[in-house]
Structure 1
Amino acid sequence: MRRLVVLGAGTAGTMVVDKLRRRLARADWLITVVEPRDQHYYQPGFLFLPFGEYTPDQLTRPVAPLISPGVELVHAEVDRVVTTDDQVVLADGRRVDYDYLVIATGVCPRPEQTPGLLDGGHWRRTIFDFYTYEGALALAEALDRFDGGRLVVHITEMPIKCPVAPLEFAFLADEFLRGRGIRDRTELVYATPLPGAFTKPVAAARLGSMLDERKIAIEPDFLVERIEDRSLVSYDERRIPFDLLVTVPLNMGADFVARSGLGDELNLVPVDRHTFLAKGHDNIFAIGDANDIPTSKAGSVAHFSVDVFARNFTDLAAGKPMTGRFDGHANCFVESGRGRGLLIDFNYDTEPLPGTYPVPGVGPFRLLGESPVNHWGKRAFRWMYWNLLLPGRPLPLPAHMSMAGKHQPSTKE
C-alpha cells in the first residue's frame, strides 16, 4: 500500500485530502493528514471582526468533521521532514513514513521579525493585526475606543496572505469612522512596500483612485526597518507617526520547512509553478500558501491550484505523466465599503482587467468596478467555503483563467 502524507489541514490541505480520497482506491492508498489545531478558521472573515461583523461561531469549525472518512487525521506538530528517509518526524518523536508528501502548512504573521513591533510594549495596545483571530478581536475593542487621530494601515513586506485585505481594511475603516462621526478628525494613511496600491498598473490605478476618493493618503515604497516612538521608520529614514497602527507583519512559512532544508529565506518551498513539485525532489509537493509561486496567496489560488494538482496526482498514481499546468489563476473580491465591492481576476501572465465575470457581457460580477453584487458575492463565499470548497465539491468555475469578458481599459477608464 502506498502512503500519501499531507502536512496541514487548512484550506489547501483539506481540499487535497478530500478530493484525493475520492480519487485514490482505499485498497491501494493510505492518506494521512497532520494538523496540530483542532479548530479550522475561515480566515477571510477576520477582516470583518474588527467592525463587529460575524460572530466567532460563524468563522470556526472543528477540523475532524471537515476531513473525509477514510483519511487518517493526526493531531501533532511537525518537527522536520527527513527527505533521505521519506519520513516526517513529529514533535513528540513519532515518525510517519510517506511515498508522497504534500506540504500545505501555509504562512503566518511573524511580528517578532520587525524591531519594536513586539518589544516596544505597544503590541495589542496601539499596534494591532487582523490576520489572526485573536488580533482581529483585540482590534475590534481598540476601534471602539478610538476617538480620532492618525490611523495607519501598514504592510511590512510581500508576499502576504490575501494581498488586497489591507486595502479592504482601509476602505472599511473609512466607512466605520464615518458611521461613528469621527472621520473628519481621523487621518487615514496606507503605507505599503509596493510602488502603488497594487502590483499591476491597471488595478493599481483603479484602487489608488479609490483611496484618493476616500481621502486615504498612500505612502508607497515604504520598507519598514523598525517601530520607534510610536512611529514607523523606513530603511530610508522616513517616519510615519501613528495613534493607532494596523499592521500586516512579515508572513513566513512553517519553521519545520527551514529545519528540513526545504525552504527559502521566508520558509516557502520552491516549486515548479505549474505542477507544485518541490525543486530537487520527485515525491514532495507544496500547495497553497506554503510554496513560492509568483501569484497571490489567496483562497482562490488554493482552490484553482488544488483542482490542477488533484488531476495531476491521480495521473501520477496511475503511472502517467502529469500534464496539467497551473496558470497562476487568482480572483479576489475587494470589499470597498458602503455595501459595494469589486472583483479582480488574473494569472501569471495577465494583469487584472475590466470586464465581467464569469459570463462575458453578463457577469453578474464586475471586474475592477464597484457594485453591490460584488459585495454580496464576497459575503456568499463563506457559505461556499464551508459547504463546497473545503469538501472538494466541484464549482462551476474553470481552474484556468479566461480572457472572455475582459478588455483593455481606454485612457478614459
Structure 2
Amino acid sequence: MKRLVVVGGGTAGTMIVNKLRRELKTDDWEIAVIDRDDVHPYQPGYLFLPFGVYSAAQVSRSRHTFLPDGVNFVIGDVDRVDADGNCVILADGRQVPYDYLVIASGATPRPDQTEGMLGPQWRESIFDFYSFDGAQALAGALEKFDGGRFVVHITDMPIKCPVAPLEFTFLSDAYFRQRGIRDRVEMVYVTPLSGAFTKPISSAHLGSMLHDRNIAVETDFLVERIDSTSKSLVSYDERTVPFDLLVTIPLNMGAEFVSRSGLGDDLNYVPVDKHTLLSTVHPNIFAVGDASDIPASKAGSVAHFAVDIFVGNFLQHIAGKKMTGSFDGHANCFIESGDGKGLLIDFNYDTEPLPGKYPVPVVGPFSLLKETRANHLGKLAFRWMYWNVLLPGRPLPLPDKMSMVGKKNET
C-alpha cells in the first residue's frame, strides 16, 4: 500500500486530493491531508469584508466537507518533515509516514517581521486585511475614519494575490466618495515596486487609474520600520510616509515547518522545478500553490492551473515515467476597481498582461485590462465557482496554459 500525504487543506491541497482520489485505487493508495484546523477560508473574500460586501459566514466553511470519501483528514500542527525518513512529524508527537509528499501549506502574513508593525498602533491605526481578524477589525476602523492621510502599503513581494492591494485602494476610494468624505482623505499607495504593478503595460494602465483617482504613488519603498510615535513608515533610504490610517500588507512567508525541515528558502518557500513542481532536492516531494518558490503570482488561479498540470505529472512520476506536463505560470485575476466595475488580467511566466477578450476572442464576456461591469460580476460569481466547482476538482472550461488568442500585443 502506497501512501500520499498532502500538507495543507487549502485551495491547492483540496483540489489535489479530490482529483487524485479518483485516479488512485483505494486498494493501492492511502491518501491523507494534514491541516491545523477544520476551517477553510475563502481568502479572496477578505478583500470585501471591510466594506460589508460579504459577511463572515460567507468566507469560510469546514475543510472536511470538501474532502472525498477515502481521504484521511488529520488535524494538527506540523512540527517538521523528516525528508530522509519519509515522515511528517506533528507538534503533538504523532507521525504520518508517506511515500510521496505534497506541500501545499500556503503563505502567511508575518507582521512580526517588520519592526514596529506589531507595536502600540497595531489594530488602532495600523490594520491588515490579509487575515480574517484583520479584515473584520478594519471594517470598524473604516467606519470611524472621517478624514486624514490614508496609506495602503506593501511590505515586500511576493504576496498572496498581488493585485489585492490595488483592489483595496480602488474600493476605498469609491467607499470614501460614497460617504461624501473623499475630499477630506489624502490617499497614498506605497509599494516596493518601481510602478503600480510588476509588468510594464499593466503597471502603466493601473498607475494611470491611481492618478485619475488622485491617489499618490510612492514607489521603490522598502520599509525598514514603522515609527509608532510619529505614525509613519520609514524606508531603508530614510524616506518617511506619515499616516493617520495605515492598511498594510505584511511580509508574506511560507510555513515555519518548512524552515525547520530544511526544505525552504529564506522566505520558507520550497524550491521546485517551475514546470513540474517537483522538489529540486527530493524526488518524492512536490510543492504546489503558494508554498512553492515558482516565479508566478501567489493566487488561486495559479493553484488551479498548476494542479491540473500536476495531477497528470504525478501519475506519470509514480509510474516511473517522464513527466510531460509543463506548467507555464498561467494566472488570471479579476481586479475590482470600485463603482461596480472591474478589470481582468491574464498572463504567465513569459507574457505580461495584455488587452483583449477572455476566454473567447471577440466575444469575451470578460475584457482584459479594461474596466467593465461584467468583470465585476465575474469576480463576485467566482465565490460560487470556488465552493462548488474548483475545490471539488470538477473541470472548468478554461485552458491550463495561457493562450495569446484574443489578446492584443501593444509592444
In the TM superposition, structure 1's runs of 4+ consecutive aligned residues that sit over 3 Å from their partners are none
Matches of residues 89-108 of structure 1 in structure 2 within 5 Å?
A: 89-108=89-108
Partner of 1:283: 284
- Write the distance in 2 (CA, Å) between the matches of 1:310 and 1:152: 42
Task: Please give the residue correspondences for 1:219-258 in structure 2 after superposition, counting only pairs within 5 Å.
Answer: 219-228=218-227, 229-258=230-259
Provide the secondary structure at the position in 1 that maps to 2:25. Answer: coil
Cα deviation per residue 1:205-244 (whole Å; 9 max; x = unaligned)? 0000100111110000000000012000000000000000
Q: State the alpha-carbon separation in 2 of the partners of residues 34 and 408 from structure 1.
A: 44
* Counterpart in the other structure of 1:136: 135
Task: Report the CA distance between 1:319 and its aligned residue.
Answer: 3.0
Matching residue of 1:174: 173
**Distance in 1 of aligned mates of 2:267 and 2:165:** 20
Specify the code of the residue in structure 1 equivalent to 2:341: R
SS at match of 1:387: helix
Q: Shift of residue 361 of structure 1?
A: 1.1
| Partner in structure 1 of residue 295 of structure 2 | 294
Q: CA deviation at 1:57?
A: 1.2
Distance 1:267 1:173 in 2: 32
Alignment of 1:5-404 (within 5 A): 5-118=5-118, 120-228=119-227, 229-404=230-405
- Root-mean-square deviation (CA, aligned residues, Å) is 0.7
Structure 2 residues without counterparts, runs of 5 or longer? none
Report the AA paired with residue 32 of structure 1. A
Query: Structure 1 residue 320: deviation in Å?
Result: 2.2
1:162 alignment partner, SS class:
coil
| 1:205 aligned counterpart, secondary structure | helix
**1:38 CA displacement:** 1.2
**Structure-2 separation of matches of 1:200 and 1:19:** 33
Measured in 1, the distance between the counterparts of 2:182 and 2:40 equals 35
3-state SS, counterpart of residue 108 of structure 1: strand
Q: CA deviation at 1:92?
A: 0.6
Distance 2:60 2:181 in 1: 32
User: What is the deviation of 1:37?
Assistant: 1.3
Offset at residue 288 of structure 1 (A): 0.2
Partner amino acid, structure 1, of 2:132? Y
Amino acid at match of 1:386: W
Tell me how far 1:109 sits from its aligned partner: 0.4
**Counterparts of 1:315 and 1:284, CA distance in 2:** 14
Q: Counterparts of 1:41 and 1:261 in 2: how far apart (Å)?
A: 28
1:321 CA displacement: 1.8
Q: Deviations over 1:241-262 (max 9, x none)?
A: 0000000000000000000000
TM-superposition CA deviations, 1:350-396 (whole Å, max 9, x none): 00000000011111100001100000000000000000000000000
Task: State the distance in 2 between where 1:63 and 1:223 align.
Answer: 37
**Cα distance in 2 between the residues matched to 1:191 and 1:293:** 25
Secondary structure of 1:46's aligned partner:
helix
Q: Distance in 2 between matches of 1:238 and 1:185?
A: 24
Aligned equivalents of 1:204 and 1:363: distance in 2? 23
Deviation at 1:107, TM superposition (A): 0.6
TM-score where L is the length of structure 1: 0.98
- Rounded Cα–Cα distance in structure 2 between residues aligned with 1:363 and 1:141: 38
Question: Residue deviations 1:306-341, cap 9 Å, x none?
Answer: 000011112223332211000000000000001100
Distance in 2 of aligned mates of 1:409 and 1:315: 39
Alpha-carbon separation, structure 2, partners of 1:69 and 1:194: 45
Query: How many Å separate the matches in 1 of 2:93 and 2:315?
Result: 31
Helix, strand or coil: the match of 2:169?
Answer: helix
Q: Measure the CA separation in 2 of the matches of 1:38 and 1:123.
A: 28
Identical counterparts, % of pairs: 67
Q: 2:243 and 2:343 mapped to 1: Cα distance?
A: 29
What secondary structure sits across from 1:5 in the alignment?
strand
- Where 2:208 maps in the other structure, the secondary structure is helix
In structure 1, distance between residues paired with 2:282 and 2:57: 41
Deviation of 1:203 after TM superposition, in Å, equals 0.2
Aligned counterparts of 1:140 and 1:65: Cα–Cα separation in 2: 29
Matched residues in 1 for 2:276 and 2:321: separation?
Answer: 14
Distance (whole Å) between structure 2 residues aligned to residue 134 and residue 31 of structure 1: 32
Q: How many residues align?
A: 409
* Structure 1: distance between partners of 2:69 and 2:177: 49
For 2:236 and 2:259, locate their aligned partners in 1 and report how far apart those are by CA, in whole Å: 27
Cα deviation per residue 1:181-223 (whole Å; 9 max; x = unaligned)? 1100100000000000000000000000100111110000000
